[in-house]
């Protein structure tokens, strides 16, 4: 119990640059008080003392401005920063190391009793101020929800969801990167191909260099022909293209084509 409170305090000192001392965190952080009191409310709830659980939760809301249903499951080192106006629903689950700012709702969109109506946050999720996460889906580990986002669909691990309705900005970035990479002649990730993405990238570069060499050779040939028809003399650069031939097939074999 005490060691859990100690780790709660430590995580606040680590995540809030404004926090200056253990004493300050212990006495002035409603997010910490809400988490400690929720453990009491949750224990009452799970031991069949439903009314008492609700009452402790109600008192906590009065004292801290944070409303956590006693049935909600909250992991270790969860930090409600500022946290006034936060609502956490009955079937919500919050993983270890999550950070939740003021005005956040982890709410439901259906009225079925007993069903999983509220979201599950994975480990290390950050939910920005004013965000509304509504429904019984999962926000994956390490995901970020932007301030004021309205999220009604699952968020993949590590992704960032912003806007109303929320869109995943990580996925958009990946698409842009993939487009740019394919213009250069290879796939940046290569995960849809069956072999090593690094050798695919190498092969793309080799093919690209080979095609450039082919175009340069054709240009030299054209210059050569022009020169020959003008003064009937040999062109030295034309010889150079023959001497320094780029062996694409040989190099491709080296990287495993
Ligand atoms: C969502 C968030 C985590 C994204 O941070 P990030 O990964 O550094 O992303 P960026 O700042 O690079 O922004 C990426 C894009 O998302 C947009 N974006 C970021 N936050 C947004 C938000 N809350 N709503 C809408 N769009 C947002 C940016 O404008 C940018 O768009 P662009 O690519 O078209 O320019 C951050 O903006 C956020 O909202 N954090 C919550 C902070 C908070 O609530 N603090 C309260 C302190 S009291």
Confidence (pLDDT) at 145: 97
Q: Which two tokens stand for residue 146?
A: 């932007």
Cβ burial, residue 99 (10 Å; 0-12/13-18/19+): buried
Residues 96-114: tens digit of each pLDDT: 999 999 999 999 987 777 7
Nearest-CA residue for atom 37 of ligand 1:
146
Asked whether residue 255 carries a pLDDT value surpassing 80, the answer given is: no
Q: Which two tokens stand for residue 208?
A: 């690209």
* Confidence band of 202 (pLDDT split at 50, 70, 90): confident
* Confidence band of 133 (pLDDT split at 50, 70, 90): very high
More confident call, 235 vs 36: 36
**Cβ pair 88, 106 in contact under 8 A:** yes
Confidence (pLDDT) at 128: 97
Average pLDDT estimate for 202-224:
82
Average pLDDT estimate for 214-219:
86
Q: Which two tokens stand for residue 218?
A: 């054709």
Residues 12-25: tens digit of each pLDDT: 999 999 999 999 99
d(CA 40, CA 77): 16
Report pTM. 0.71
What ligand 1 atom has the least distance to the C-alpha of 148?
23
Distance 147 CA to ligand 1 centre (A): 7
Residues with CB under 6 A from ligand 1: 82, 101, 128-129, 144, 146-148, 160, 162-163, 169
For a mutational test of ligand 1's pocket, the pick from 147, 151, 177, i.e. the residue with the most ligand atoms closer than 8 A to its C-beta, is 147
Confidence (pLDDT) at 209: 81
What ligand 1 atom has the least distance to the C-alpha of 160?
1
For a mutational test of ligand 1's pocket, the pick from 145, 169, 172, i.e. the residue with the most ligand atoms closer than 8 A to its C-beta, is 169
| Mean pLDDT over the full length of the chain | 85
Domains, the chain, with CATH or none: 2-169 (2.160.10.10), 172-254 (no CATH)
Residues 32-44: tens digit of each pLDDT: 999 999 999 999 9
Asked whether residue 239 carries a pLDDT value surpassing 60, the answer given is: no
Confidence (pLDDT) at 115: 85
Distance 95 CA to ligand 1 centre (A): 22
Average pLDDT estimate for 194-216:
73
More confident call, 199 vs 86: 86
Asked whether residue 257 carries a pLDDT value surpassing 70, the answer given is: no
Residues 26-75: tens digit of each pLDDT: 999 999 999 999 999 999 999 999 999 999 999 999 999 999 999 999 99
For a mutational test of ligand 1's pocket, the pick from 84, 99, 128, i.e. the residue with the most ligand atoms closer than 8 A to its C-beta, is 128
Distance 128 CA to ligand 1 centre (A): 9
What ligand 1 atom has the least distance to the C-alpha of 131?
44
Confidence (pLDDT) at 82: 93
Asked whether residue 147 carries a pLDDT value surpassing 60, the answer given is: yes
d(CA 246, CA 209): 8
Nearest-CA residue for atom 1 of ligand 1:
146
**Cβ pair 1, 43 in contact under 8 A:** no
How many residues in total does the chain contain?
Answer: 257
For a mutational test of ligand 1's pocket, the pick from 104, 160, 173, 174, i.e. the residue with the most ligand atoms closer than 8 A to its C-beta, is 160
Nearest-CA residue for atom 18 of ligand 1:
162
């Amino acid at each position: 119990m005490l060691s859990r409170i100690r780790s709660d305090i430590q995580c606040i000192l680590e995540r809030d640059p404004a926090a200056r001392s253990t004493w300050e965190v212990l006495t002035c952080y409603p997010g910490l008080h809400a988490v400690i009191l929720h453990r009491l409310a949750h224990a009452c709830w799970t031991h069949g003392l439903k009314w008492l659980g609700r009452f402790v939760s109600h008192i906590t809301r009065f004292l801290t401005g944070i409303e956590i249903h006693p049935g909600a499951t909250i992991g270790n080192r969860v930090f409600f920063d500022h946290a006034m106006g936060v609502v956490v629903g009955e079937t919500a689950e919050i993983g270890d190391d999550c950070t939740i700012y003021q005005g956040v709702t982890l709410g439901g969109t259906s009225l079925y009793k007993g069903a999983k109506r509220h979201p599950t946050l994975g480990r290390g999720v950050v939910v920005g101020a004013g965000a509304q996460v509504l429904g019984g889906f999962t926000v994956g580990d390490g995901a970020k929800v932007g301030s004021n986002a309205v999220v009604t669909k699952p968020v993949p691990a590590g992704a960032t969801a912003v806007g109303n309705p929320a869109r995943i900005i990580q996925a958009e970035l990946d698409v842009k990167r993939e487009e740019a990479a394919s213009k250069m002649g290879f796939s940046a990730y290569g995960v849809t191909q069956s072999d090593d993405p690094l050798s695919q990238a190498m092969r793309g570069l080799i093919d690209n260099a080979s095609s450039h060499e082919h175009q340069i050779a054709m240009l030299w040939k054209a210059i050569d022909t022009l020169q020959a028809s003008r003064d009937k003399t040999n062109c030295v650069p034309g010889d150079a293209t023959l001497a320094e031939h780029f062996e694409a097939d040989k190099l491709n074999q080296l990287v495993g084509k």
